[in-house]
Structure 1
């Protein structure tokens, strides 16, 4: 098998939201290839930043995507739709071209999928979006992509095929009951002592926030720590949550400092969701939380107290002994020898 076929899988590169321009091509015998993708109409661009739709199950529509060649040479692009997901870093991304879409990416179809575009030219390409009759209510998110596949070489000199893609987001809201919800979870909760017993310690933990509802959401992730009866409560914003798509999750690691070891610490991870879609801006989205107990005996402080107690005890004994040694001994009068008188 040739090295080219061994690396036939295309590399997934950056997806640019809304209208975007591709990076320059690596080929050195032609001018850099740059192109853009954005919402359009049969008469040209219409000012939209993304494809935003609100449809009923079973409903269909026809729309246009504008694909522009900004370069000085003709380019051939492959046009397709794909499902979106929240990446590990919290970024918006699309499935790679070799991954099958099962949601809105599979509901969009084109009559033409391979486009050859002349220099300094835009094509307004029609496409159809059909919402299945059994589509679930809520947000379905994806993108329309124009991809250019080029031959390149990797670090070892082997031939590889590299896919560079540019696209625009698709936000589809299917009518029905909405259920916005972000659910937090906490794991590997650990308390860390400071070498200096006069300083408070810290807690580290892994967190996960899952979108268990059907609406894309962002928000804040907050950690609360307190001792028994709410003693010395501390609240910290752990993360500003990115847009999390329905069914996706965002993970990370956090540290909260200035926590005194109060034997038992109550830890609460709280999510305050925020709407991403402007249509939901006035909606009240309930918060949710997850609680854990963290045991943090005050060992360093106890050791210091014990040491101080021992020092006090030793000092008291030494002081008592010094007082005893310094006290003058009482003088005892010896009885005079008796004298016998003879008659």
Structure 2
């Protein structure tokens, strides 16, 4: 599986702002010289300009390679790796930078971010130790910062991600803020052992927004969470469909974007709109998520899909009302007609009876005369 991130930039998460007046904003920077290093600028108050960052970071040239886009290691539990970060000062002033490691995580936007030191790391950020906590770099100079990655003997097999970060915190008296600019490089680690790629689809919900047109269709929305339940970094192909009773009137959602790469244990929540769904009383949403494994060469393999469903009511109330009205008319009108016929027949019988009685009386009077 490919453990390096094809994206050229990785922001480090911003720390909590000190009092009394501090806010945090992030500015991504693309690294120079063709190095796909992780870049992040975190500023309290207004976002800092990209040109304010006067240094770059890159991987050291050694036995691991001379033009790496990041740090990628595959080691067994208990192993130790030694490597280095190169920091170059392109500005006119001496820089004193903090250097540290941090765990990575996937943001709601689908990109890798880094924990801040105050949040504490438990994997890469805890296992990687830099030779120094701060580094001084003169203008136009470069400094190599060695670091050691020591994997605990009881580390769980699987994939981990983090980063090595350089940080420059400066007070801005004019703005009354503190600016913390950071640049770093991603670290991808695979601890040897059995790999168990697996995803789960959880918390599936479907909603329906009907239409006033009795012959028209409405829109459905399907929301669900993809969770990486295995120990390997995975993305996922996704398909969503909505059907009526007995699997009829199936509507496939437009193409759903592939889920981002999720670290073991991470979740990704998705909402997929499904247009042109007929209100067929009871709707069923069918979600299929196929895990995608990427190897070190960049080749992908798709595993068997994982499915989940959810249902909701989609009653065509206007149509239902019209049907009820027609049914009522079909029942009531014949009864009214029959009642009117009976009333008319009764009136006709009464009229005939009165006519007969009148004729008899007249006949009787004629006979007596």
Q: Give yes or no for contact 1:142–1:170 (8 Å, CA) kept in 2.
A: yes
Query: Please, what TM-score do these two structures have when normalized by structure 2?
Result: 0.74
- Residue 120 of structure 2 is matched in structure 1 by 100
- Residue 103 of structure 2 is matched in structure 1 by 83
- C-alpha distance in 1 between matches for 2:225 and 2:141: 46
1:300 counterpart SS class: helix
Q: Is residue 256 from structure 1 mapped to residue 256 from structure 2 by the alignment?
A: no
Equivalent residue for 2:216, pick from 199, 216, 221 = 199
- Residue 191 of structure 2 is matched in structure 1 by 174
- Residue 328 of structure 1 is matched in structure 2 by none
Displacement of 1:121: 2.0
How much is the aligned-residue C-alpha RMSD, in angstroms? 3.5
Equivalent residue for 2:242, pick from 187, 211, 225 = 225
Q: Is residue 268 from structure 1 mapped to residue 282 from structure 2 by the alignment?
A: no
- Residue 210 of structure 1 is matched in structure 2 by 227
Q: Give yes or no for contact 2:222–2:285 (8 Å, CA) kept in 1.
A: no
Query: Please, what TM-score do these two structures have when normalized by structure 1?
Result: 0.79
Q: Give yes or no for contact 1:81–1:144 (8 Å, CA) kept in 2.
A: yes
1:229 counterpart SS class: helix
- Residue 26 of structure 2 is matched in structure 1 by 13
Displacement of 1:146: 0.6
Unaligned runs of 5+ in 2: 1-16, 31-35, 341-369
Displacement of 1:224: 1.6
Of stretches 165-174 and 35-44 in structure 1, the one that deviates more from structure 2 is 35-44
Q: Give yes or no for contact 2:24–2:42 (8 Å, CA) kept in 1.
A: no
- C-alpha distance in 2 between matches for 1:268 and 1:67: 51
Q: Give yes or no for contact 1:223–1:270 (8 Å, CA) kept in 2.
A: yes
- Runs (4+) of structure 1 exceeding 6 A deviation are 309-317
Displacement of 1:281: 3.3
Displacement of 1:20: 5.2
2:72 counterpart SS class: strand
Q: Is residue 162 from structure 1 mapped to residue 168 from structure 2 by the alignment?
A: no
- C-alpha distance in 2 between matches for 1:61 and 1:8: 42
Displacement of 1:205: 3.8
Displacement of 1:77: 0.8
- Residue 156 of structure 2 is matched in structure 1 by 136
Cα 1:287–1:91 shift into 2, 3 Å: same
- C-alpha distance in 2 between matches for 1:238 and 1:284: 16
Q: Deviations over 1:243-287 (max 9, x none)?
A: 211111112433211111222222122212222443583545232
- C-alpha distance in 1 between matches for 2:28 and 2:190: 22
Q: Deviations over 1:158-193 (max 9, x none)?
A: x33332111111010111111112222234422211
The count of corresponding residues between Structure 1 and Structure 2 is 313
- C-alpha distance in 2 between matches for 1:44 and 1:231: 57
Unaligned runs of 5+ in 1: 322-343
Of stretches 247-256 and 166-175 in structure 1, the one that deviates more from structure 2 is 247-256
Q: Give yes or no for contact 2:42–2:182 (8 Å, CA) kept in 1.
A: no
Q: Deviations over 1:303-331 (max 9, x none)?
A: 344456678899999xxx9xxxxxxxxxx
- C-alpha distance in 2 between matches for 1:276 and 1:15: 26
More helix by share: 2
